[in-house]
Amino acid sequence: MPKLDKEEREILEAFERGELKSMPHKTAEFKRHKEYAAATFKKDSRINIRLTRRDLNALQKRALSEGIPYQTLIASVLHKFADGRLIEKMPNYGLKGIGEPPH
């Protein structure tokens, strides 16, 4: 069995104690959530964007290592940014302090 994190262990232990119950009407509930997901991720707009060859190559390599199409990776990054979930990482310049470029 793979190593479980804390949350996974808690769920497994609750299941083994018989504390988890099957959802009534789970088929209808599953269908409803599937429709929500489809509506959320429906791509209904198209854009054109110019990138440097270097950036495009880097994105394609990253997507390949993730096992997803590069367009999907780009859309995911943009979605996370628009949703406020993409945090900019400030460079660490060492002795001058975090985020301060050397003089």
Is-above-0.85 flag for pTM? no
Write out pLDDT tens, residues 70-86: 998 998 899 889 888 88
Q: Could you give the CA distance from residue 30 to residue 71 in angstroms, rounded to a whole number?
A: 28
Residue 94, pLDDT score: 61
- Pick from 20, 21, 44, 40: which is nearest to 32 by CA? 40
